[in-house]
Amino acid sequence: MKIAFYCSNEFPYPCPKEIIYPPLYPAYNLVEGLVKNGHDVYLFGSKNNKTKAKNISKGILSYFEIKEKSDYLLSGSLHNQEMVTLFEQMMASIVLQEAKKNNIDIIHFFSIPRKTIHFSELTDIPILYTNHDSKEPRNSFIFKNCPWIKKINFNSISFAQRKTTPEIKYFYNVYNGIDLTKIKFSNKKENFLIWVGRICPEKGTHTAIKVAKKSGTPLKIIGPKWNKQYFESFEKEIDGKNIQYLGTLSQKEVFKIIPKAKASLVPIQWEEPFGLTMIESLAAGTPVIAFDRGSVSEIIQHKKTGFIVKDSKEMIQAVKNIDQINNYDCRKSAEKDFSLEKMVDEYEKLYKKIINKKIKQNEK
């Protein structure tokens, strides 16, 4: 198949070390996996993208590469959303132009739909949108007011995500997948917990600290200070010994630490549409203890690959019971349900369904 693929032109591909932008990680895995399987993939974005696909940029850099990086490193809320959207839409228009010129079979927008959804009516080439967002007012407003929303091929990244975006009619569900060869399994755990992600209220970093202290277990925190004010609200509790903040590390560095942790804490305060941290932990053989919100129950098998809890009190108890979990079961779960190979296979099937659907529509 000839596939036009677009994730983002806010950041180059793969994701820079300084930033955590979840869609880019599975995007990288998917594109490289499709190329490996023999597909003709056109990747759109920054001219500095590193890929085995055909990179198309028209000489354009990502917004991150042009804007002062200090804005991103301080707080994700500081960058100019209007300018980001402009960069996304500029590249989306190039996608449509080049797709027609190169006789593309299908266009895959693996991105935030609200930024590019209006382009879907400007081409006859089949389009797939992978939605990575959850419920928020601006998404709901755009989805409710898009006249052709029901004609668009959407896929979700969890069934829980569908409940938060009822305006969308989903065509399929494909879980994100990871390259398991990059995460080493370990059955030898050290006495510490880990929390990984963007440091912001909805990710519950403050709860992870509370749980670590009350369970008497050291905690390592990894991730960018996405919300500086929030970080400052608990900064005094970081003592460098029992509660450590390791900053923003590269994916390679994070993958060296996760296998050593006795458990990964995911005390989310929102309806998480997926949660890459959870499947990365499972791949490393590290059990996950998470609040029962969003996609958690689709990823974690309660009392087998971790614990699904309702509050910090139950999370503290789960830390104390973590030795009940078999680390090998965690790895097996990642291999069965969240591998790169399975994700690529599922998207190949989905592309064929959408292309065949378009062919049948044209025949009528």
> Do 2-177+339-363 and 180-337 have matching folds?
yes
Q: Is the pLDDT of residue 225 over 70?
A: yes
Which candidate, 129, 140, 131, 139, places its Cα nearest to that of 92?
129
Three-state secondary structure along the chain? CEEEEECCCCCCCCCCCCCCCCCHHHHHHHHHHHHHCCCEEEEECCCCCCCCCEEECCCCCCHHHHCCHHHHHHCHHHCCHHHHHHHHHHHHHHHHHHHHHCCCCEEEECCCHHHCHHHHHHCCCCEEEECCCCCCHHHHHHHHCCCCHHHCEEEECCHHHHHHCCCCCEEEECCCCECHHHCCCCCCCCCCEEEECCCCHHHCHHHHHHHHHHHCCCEEEECCCCCHHHHHHHHHHCCCCCEEECCCCCHHHHHHHHHHCCEEEECCCCCCCCCHHHHHHHHCCCCEEEECCCCHHHHCCECCCEEEECCHHHHHHHHHCHHHCCHHHHHHHHHHHCEHHHHHHHHHHHHHHHHHHHHHHHHC
Q: Where are the domains of the chain?
A: 2-177+339-363, 180-337
Q: Give the phi and the psi of residue 128 in degrees, each rounded to 5.
A: -115, 130
Residue 270 confidence class, pLDDT cut points 50, 70, 90 = very high
Residue 75 confidence class, pLDDT cut points 50, 70, 90 = very low
Q: Which fold is adopted by the domain 2-177+339-363?
A: Rossmann fold (3.40.50)
User: Which pTM does this prediction carry?
Assistant: 0.93
Neighbouring CB atoms inside 10 A of 332's CB total 16
Q: Please report the pLDDT score of residue 115 as a whole number.
A: 79
Q: Is the pLDDT of residue 137 over 80?
A: no
Residue 118 confidence class, pLDDT cut points 50, 70, 90 = confident
Q: Is the pLDDT of residue 117 over 70?
A: yes
What angle, 0 to 180 degrees and rounded to 10, lies between the N-to-C axes of helices 24-36 and 340-363? 80
Mean pLDDT of 71-99: 74
Class of domain 180-337: alpha beta
At a CB cut-off of 8 Å and minimum separation 6, what does 360 contact?
none
